[in-house]
Every structure is written in C-alpha cells, then in structure tokens.
Amino acid sequence: MLQQQPNPKGHDVFISFRGSDVRHTFASRLRAALRREGVTSFADDDARHLPRGEDLKEAISRAIERSRLSVVVLSRNYASSEWCLDELVTVMRCCSSSRGGHVAIPIFYHLSPEEVSGCYKEDLDRHKRRFTYERVDGWIRALAWIAGIAGWVVPAAV
C-alpha cells in the first residue's frame, strides 16, 4: 500500500478531474478517503497555495511527475478543459517514460470507457478551432490511451 513507503519526491497520488463536474462531490470524497488512509494527494486546487509568481502549469506538471500514480476522473465535461487535457498528456508521458514506475488509474464518472471518444467529440471539435493540430492530436491520443486502461466505472444514479 502507498502509505507504507513514503514518497520523498512528492505526493503519492495526483488527481486529475474537471472541477465543475466533481470537485465538491466525488473528488472531495476521494481525497478525504485517501487522507484517512495516510495517502498524500495533489489536485489542481492545491496549486492555489503555491508561492506567488510560480507558473501553475509547470507546478502541476511537476506534481504529476513527482507522484507515484495518477487518478484520472473522466467526467462528461473533462475534455472541455484544456488544463485537464494537458494534465492527461503529462500523465501519459510519465507512464510511458523509460524511467517507468508511474501508474494511471482511470475512473469513468457517469460514463463508460466506450463512451469516451463520442462523449468528448464536441469539445475536441471546438478545441480544433482554437489550438494547433499537434496539441489537439496529443489530447485525442491521450484520451484513447486512458480509455484503454482498466479502471473503475462510477455509474450515474438511476
């Protein structure tokens, strides 16, 4: 278990999520559960406590790189956020790095792995009008990659 071997480099877990979808519900409960088990986590709202003048994107990338694993909470609006998609690309890079050791765990929140590409099509089409082909293509590859990893599905309430 993670709490048995402290991570001297950083946090045990980086949590990537779309704040407007899950910050005050699923993500806050997940962080509380991890804390109770002695597992340290980092999420984008922790970046608010960084020293003034520090670049947020760099700090978040560093937090991902220094974490043992990343939990990616894929919700309906995840791909509407370029920040979330950039985090996901960094997670993918860390997992495929020759140094190895970084693990990604997807949580499909109110959607199934099969829905990922269709669910995010509209958001990605919108991004294609604003960002370079290379950047959007990286996001598409990262979404396909994470959708192919065995994770947990949190179904919508019936």
pLDDT tens, residue by residue, 74-127: 999 999 999 999 999 999 999 998 676 899 999 999 999 999 988 999 999 999
Q: Hey, which residues does 103 pair with through a beta bridge?
A: 69
Pick the CATH number of 9-154 from 3.40.50.720, 3.40.50.300, 3.40.50.2020, 3.40.50.10140: 3.40.50.10140
Question: Within its chain, how far is the Cα of 137 from the centroid?
Answer: 18
Q: 């109110």: which residue's tokens? A: 110
Residue 69, CA atoms < 13 Å, CB-side half-sphere: 12
Give the model's pLDDT for residue 51: 65
Give the model's pLDDT for residue 50: 65
Tokens (6 digits) for 61: 């990338």
- pLDDT tens digits, residue range 50-84? 667 778 888 889 989 999 999 999 999 999 999 99
Q: Across the chain, what does the average pLDDT equal?
A: 88
Give the model's pLDDT for residue 1: 42
Q: 């993670």: which residue's tokens? A: 2
Q: Which residues are catalytic?
A: 87
Give the model's pLDDT for residue 5: 52
The SS3 assignment for 74 reads: strand
Confidence of residue 156 (pLDDT cuts 50, 70, 90): confident
With a cut of 80, say whether residue 158 has pLDDT above it.
Answer: no
Domain boundaries, the chain: 9-154
